[in-house]
Structure 1
Amino acid sequence: MSMDSNSSEITSMVKETLEKLESIDFRQKTDLNGYRNRFTERGWKAFLRFREGLSTSSKTSILRAELPSISRLEFNDNLDQCNVTIELNLRGSKNGERVEVTREIRLEMINEETWKIDRYESGLEREGCRESPVINSVFNGHPRVVKACPQKITLAMLVRNEADRYLPAVLQQAAQYVDEAVILDDASTDKTVEVCRELLQGIPSFIHVNQSPGFGNEINLRQQLWELAVQSSAEWILCLDADEVFEDRVVSEIRTLVNQPHIDVIGFRLYDFWDMEHYREDEFWNAHLRYAPFLVRYQSKFPYQWLETPLHCGRFPQNVTLLPSAVSNLRLKHFGWATTEDRQIKYTRYKEADPDGKYGILKQYESILDPKPNLIKWRENE
């Protein structure tokens, strides 16, 4: 194998590995085992020592690594070892500043197709690294806006006929940590609006009531809710549905997520409950294995773009993930599937609204009525 092909292979592997392993939210447990096979035994121990040293620092939190360049890549005479110097931009909070760091790495060739990291050391560190070119381009040269702490959290929620379902529990919890609420009622025929007014007493709230239902075209409602939240001078927009509730510790932990200057999008894992104590996990029901944005800092100069579909359009503009992002280990419980009646209603709705699977997955629609789904017991604050 030539030096050029070795260089290309090493560059690709190092970039993918380091951007993943150096992106750390110290408030959550990060699974490293999937990357264990990219290290020799000695290299893995060195990396764990390095990681342990970082995780004990109280000054560092929510970091996302971006690897813009490899400044040095030198092979030995036998082309079976390579010393690499990496320059990383860590986009997150450390004493309120972004940081630029270097890592000194040595790789060893295991065979002609495999390289592994054999040494891992910290290098130089500089405060105030430059903005990502991606961020500069999407803002068209305008600066990001970050107001002084404490940051305001605005709950944005779309509701329709939720009075006797999960809405009371959702609002009782949210009232403990949000600063204001924007509610869009889609022509409810029950006491949903009254429940919202009662449970949001003492919190600045705006409740807009549509005179006729519009849920046949979800994108219109999602965009309407977004505009109502923006008009309220929102800083952070937390978009929850009326059947979604966080773990209890959200009350004490959410301020840590928003009172920082560098991250604009926070992702959470959503667990689809099939009864009040179990969530579902299988081929089609695994949203809790990935992070989705639920909490977004509004940036007035950002060119938001929506997925213009009448179904499954998303609760935020689809390009918000271009903004500086991080994840939280706070988990969201979704009870919209938790009863047989709810599942039958949603099954019928999706089959009628999307009979050809244009906006969703037909096999997932069919799986809604699976008589023996794989269910896992929920453990609070795990």
Structure 2
Amino acid sequence: MEWAALLLLALALCALLYLLGRWLLGLDGDLTLLWAEWRGKRPENELPDKVVWVTGASSGIGEELAYQLAKIGALVVLSARRENELERVKQKCLEISNLSSKDILVLPLDLTDRSSHEAATKTVLQHFGRIDVLVNNGGRSQRSLFVDTKVEVYAAIMELNYLGTVSLTKHVLNHMVQREKGKIVTMSSVMGIMGAPLATGYCASKHALQGFFNSLRPELGEYPEIIITTICPGPVQSKIIHNVFTEDLSKSLDNTGDQSHKMPTDRCVRLTLVSMVNDLKEAWISDHPYLAVCYLWQYAPTWAWWLMNKMGKIRIQNFKSGVDADISYSQKKKA
């Protein structure tokens, strides 16, 4: 009887571990974030009438952020370089929400033109009187091997992704310090936590953002109502892949490949808004295997390096074959 009881206990434990494993494999965010989604504050209750400035709002995650914010009833500032695309996004925001035209400000902005950031901030303040949330979403990714990439590409990536973001944050933060409240939400990446081939410059820029905002956060300790949130998405169905840096500034990516295996943009944005309203300091938003690698990178870096070396070879092979770099190890890979 004792052996039978032990066998039943072992079977029950195996079943429990199996169910736990299946549950963990189905997660698309870190545990703190998913707890906040389940039991925390809801964006629909926290964001109506808040002034939210979104950079990179003409496509991808930024565009979807604009739509979800508009539906909630937030007052939105849309910034990117292409004014015609911003007007398109604004028009759709008006169609899907109860906002009026004056509730959505189209503000063309080039993050690399740092001399324009002070005036842009003043324009927002003149229009709305305040900035409740700045979402630093503007930036570009990369697909190129280091041995083939010109140094000028790395300078351009850092100027846009890092220095442009720091510059705009500086001007908006001055306003928030005067009010003693506000939120700065920055779209980093899982590449800001780990490293990956084909994105050496992009990873460097995101690591720089992580270091900057992780250092800025405790500097603002005397302003407890100024919240710094860093979002780390994995691969998302975003148009960012269509505008990546390659080995030469004048060259675009010839073949972007199928993107359908990646996380839907609307899901990424929903979890971003949950992170924002629940004042999370850092949130990981990704399907596996990247989410699992984030945990390995934090708690078992030797195993993370072993896995990344395996994944890295596949990324490079995919890139050279003209398909999306991440498709072979995606959970949602098509047959």
TM-score with structure 2 setting the length: 0.34
Richer in helix (by share):
2
Q: Normalised by the size of structure 1, how large is the TM-score?
A: 0.30
- Where relative contact order (Cα < 8 A, 6+ residues apart) is larger, the structure is 2
Considering fraction of residues, name the structure with more strand.
1
